[in-house]
Each structure stands twice: as structure tokens, then as C-alpha cells.
A and B are shown apart, each in its own frame.
Chain A
Amino acid sequence: MIKKLIRYFKGYVDFYAEGAESEKLINHCIKNGIEILNPAKENYKLYGKIFSGEYKKLRKPAKILGLKIRIIKKSGLLFFAKKNKRKIGFAVGIAFVIFFNIIMNCFIWEINVTGNENINNYKETVLNIANENGLLTGTRSKKHFVQDIEWDILRKIPDLSSVEINIQGSVANIAIKRTAKEEKMVPDDDIPINLIASRYGVIEKIDVFDGQGLVKPGDAVMKGDLLVSAVFEDRHNKLTLKHSRANIIAKTDYNITAEFHFDQTLETISGKSNNLYILEILGKEFYINKKSENYNLPNTRNKKKISFFNIELPITLTKISFFDVKQNNITYNLNYAKSGAYELLLKKEKEELENAKIISRKTDEKIKDGKYIITANYIVLMDIAEEQPIESDIPWENSDDMS
């Protein structure tokens, strides 16, 4: 088999030598080291095969011996190439595709981050760290020191328990695993704290967990009054400092104002858009059309990986649509302004009085300086305790230490 392959690559010719003493040609070849393959004689003709380069060497002795020498057939790669000279483009094309494939396999086309649940928060950070370490699309796959990158990711994201980077051909897979951590107990008794009233009101309910309670239900308090003292006196009359904790619910009032302008300038996005196409090949960006100058305009980005017969290519086409902004001057009527102001009020109420219980609400509406103003006065039940750190020479007791 190997011999046949060598013959095919070297190229050989089938020939015959015609004459009475054709055996003498074989004797000449033996003496001169010329190899004739399968020499056989039939009817004064000596048939054989000889390597294409050595055929010329037979001519002279054949002439001396009075033999007529002729080629029957030419075989081998060299002759095949010559015969198919016109089809050389096809062969070059195939060779180019193979070469291109080999070259492309040496580069990273795609970087994936996979792992267990809740990895979405880390995906971008992991990719950024990998990029910082040079793991980018378009870089040579054998260039990277995978272990260094893994260590760097682990060092920078302590929440991850393991990082494994596998570069398979042109795809880099970063498999991450998140540590299942228990909630850490953070002691908050780091400083002695007093609780004071954040606003005036009448105490409705008081639950003191730590510290010395100084008010009782029914007491009226002003803003800044001390509600729970950090100075605690035990039954042995010993004074210690505490980090006060308490729920102090008081009935108080609360004001919210919402304003809605009658004349407003609204920016609306028109249907017209200018599209910018960016072709990203192996990490390099090519702008297909001219760069837009209005980068501040609202835009949408649509990134698409180009594939060929379901094979993803290392080419990404990004379409950025910049929308024109139209400024409209609108004058709202009274009803619309009123409903707009109420909408704002409800929004504020939801934000500011989320943890409070509303007992009553009185609203006052007025139009002033081109605005529809609603002022709402609430009577609410809310926690009015506010922490105030204190400095004192009294021994400080951390309740966490006691336990």
C-alpha cells in the first residue's frame, strides 16, 4: 500500500520496449540501479513500469540495443495535476477552505458563561474580568493562561466557589459555581444608641426591646424628644449603655404636596429612525454606514450573531436605531391637570407612607403660578423612633457579647 502511494506521488509510466533482445535492457537497468516494476515479456515486447523521472535514462541504452521504446500510459499525481490544469481553481478553493478552517480553529469565536442558578448577576462581571485578562473573541486560543484567569475571577468575585475555563476549538466556556452562603450575623450593637422622636405626635404603642423606655402610650412628644434611653439602670443600680431598640408607634400628621404644571414640554420619539450597522468580526468593529453624530438620542440596540447553515460564525451584526426626538408644548386643561396632580400625590403617598397606617386624609386644591397644587394632610400611625448615637464614659455593654 505504502509502495503504491509512493509510486502514485512520484508518478510512473507504463512502457514497452520492442526488439529481439529486450532482456538486455533489464540487465542494463540492474547494473545502473534503474528500477523497472513488474518486467514481463510477451511477443518480443518487454512491458514494465518505470518512475517518470527515470524513463529518459532508458532511451540511450534502448537505442544501443536496437530497441523501440514507447510509453503506453502515464499515471500518478503529477500527471493528474497536469491533466486537470484547468480545474486548478477548484483544487485551490478546497485547499483554501481547509486552510481557512484550520486557521479559524486557532482563534476564539465565542465566550460562554455557564453555571448553576443565579449566575446572571455574575455573568457580565465574569466576562469583564476575562476580557481584562485578555480572553477576548478574536484572540488565539492557545495564547491564554487559563489558570491565571480562573484565579483572577475567583479573587475578584468572592461569591464564587469555583471557576473552570475550557477552551474547546474556537469556543471558550467559563463554568462558574456560586457558593451557598448562610446569612452572616452582623452585630449592630457596635455603638450606644438613644431613640428620639423624628416628628411630633401622641404615642399609641411602645415596645422596647433594649434600652430604657421613657415614654408611655398617651404621651405627647415633640420632635427630638428622648423616647428610649441608652443608659440602662439595672436592679443593682448599675448603669450600663445599650444599643436601644424599640417600636414606637405614634399618631401624627403628615403633609404631601403634589404640583402639576399646566404648560409642559414633552419629548416624544418620532417614528423616524436612523440605523447604524456595526459588523464585529473577531473582536474588531467595522462601521457599515457612516457614524451618527447624535449619540445622545434615544436608541435601541439589536445584536445578532450571523450563522451559516446553523453554524455560528464569529461575526456579530449590531443594529443601533437612533430615534428623532420631537419637543411638543402642551397646555393641559383643568381636569387633566387635576388628575395628573392626584396621580403624582398617590405616587408620593405610596413612596413616603409605605410603612404607615393612614387614618384620615384631607386635601386642599389650588391653582397658583400655572400649576395645579394639591396639598394633602394625613393623620397617620407611624414609627417615629430615630436612632441617635451618644458618647458617654459609662461602661458600654454589647448585648452580643453577653450571649
Chain B
Amino acid sequence: MKNKKKKDLFLPFEISGNYFIEIINNREVVLTGFFEIIELDKTVLKINCAEKNIVFSGNDIEIAEYSFDGFKIKGDIKNIEFK
């Protein structure tokens, strides 16, 4: 119910705690929302977001750009997991 209200209000992702993942291809992913990096490696990038952990795995994974409200991840992305 609480989440439904937030959705109805259409608040920004940072405030609502929601996130938005845009997969351009397997080499570029853009995440919008409030994130926290848990693990960064060349093969794995683990991010905590809205009580969920998102794991990007593959090869040569790197954070190309970041700002207060998002990331741009580049690399040979093979898996995206929600844990």
C-alpha cells in the first residue's frame, strides 16, 4: 500500500527509493536511483539499492560515470542478478 502510494505520486527515484535500470546492450547499462556499491571488481559489480542487491557479472566491468543519482556501467556484461 505504501509502495503504491509512492508510485501514484510519481516521486523522483532518490526520494521514493525506487530505481530504474536501462540496458542499452550487453556492454552498457544505466542505473538511475540511489545506489551503494558493495563490491567492485573487474568481473563483478555488486550494488545495493532499495533493500535489494543487484549483481552485474561479466568481464572488464567498470563504472564509466557516476553522479549522485545514477551510474553508467560499461563492460562485457553477462548476468544481472537480483538478490
Which residues of A does B touch, CB under 8 Å?
Answer: 22-24, 26-27, 30-31, 33, 35-36, 38-42, 46
**What size tier do the contact residues of chain B reach?**
10 to 19
Q: Are A23 and B40 in contact (CB under 8 A)?
A: yes
Asked whether any CB of chain A lies closer than 8 Å to the CB of B11, the reply is: no
Q: Are B63 and A39 in contact (CB under 8 A)?
A: yes
Q: Are A40 and B38 in contact (CB under 8 A)?
A: no
Q: Are B39 and A23 in contact (CB under 8 A)?
A: yes
Q: Are A40 and B36 in contact (CB under 8 A)?
A: no
Which residues on the B side are within 8 Å of A41 (C-beta)?
A: 40-42
Which residues of B does A touch, CB under 8 Å?
Answer: 35-42, 62-64, 66-68
Task: Count A/B pairs, Cβ under 8 Å.
Answer: 36
Contact of B36 among A27, A36, A38, A39 (CB under 8 A): A27
Q: Are B68 and A39 in contact (CB under 8 A)?
A: no
Q: Which chain B residue shows the least CB distance to A26?
A: B37
- Which of A22, A35, A39, A42 has the most C-beta atoms of chain B within 10 angstroms of its own C-beta? A39
Q: How far is the CA of A24 from the CA of B46 in the complex (A)?
A: 12
Which residues on the B side are within 8 Å of A24 (C-beta)?
A: 37
Which residues on the B side are within 8 Å of A38 (C-beta)?
A: 62-64
Using known A-B contacts A38-B62, A40-B42, A40-B62, determine if residue A33 contacts B68 with beta carbons closer than 8 Å: yes
Q: How far is the CA of A38 from the CA of B63 in the complex (A)?
A: 6
Q: Is the interface of A mostly helix, strand, loop or mixed?
A: mixed
Contact of B40 among A30, A31, A35, A46 (CB under 8 A): A46
Q: Are A40 and B68 in contact (CB under 8 A)?
A: no
Contact of A42 among B35, B42, B64 (CB under 8 A): B42
Q: How far is the CB of A176 from chain B (nearest CB, A)?
A: 65
Q: Which chain B residue shows the least CB distance to A29?
A: B66
Which residues on the A side are within 8 Å of B66 (C-beta)?
A: 26, 30, 35-36, 39
Q: How far is the CB of A229 from chain B (nearest CB, A)?
A: 114
The 7 residue pairs across chains A and B that have the minimum distance between CB atoms: A41-B40, A23-B37, A23-B40, A40-B62, A26-B37, A39-B63, A27-B36
Which residues on the A side are within 8 Å of B37 (C-beta)?
A: 23-24, 26-27
Which residues on the B side are within 8 Å of A30 (C-beta)?
A: 35, 66-68
Q: How far is the CA of A46 from the CA of B66 in the complex (A)?
A: 16
Which residues on the A side are within 8 Å of B39 (C-beta)?
A: 23
Q: Are B42 and A26 in contact (CB under 8 A)?
A: no
Q: Are B40 and A40 in contact (CB under 8 A)?
A: yes
Q: Are A23 and B62 in contact (CB under 8 A)?
A: no
Q: Are A26 and B63 in contact (CB under 8 A)?
A: yes
Q: How far is the CB of A36 from chain B (nearest CB, A)?
A: 8
List 15 interface pairs A-B (beta carbons < 8 Å), by A numbering.
Answer: A23-B38, A23-B39, A23-B40, A26-B40, A26-B66, A27-B37, A30-B35, A30-B66, A30-B68, A33-B68, A35-B66, A40-B40, A40-B63, A41-B42, A42-B42
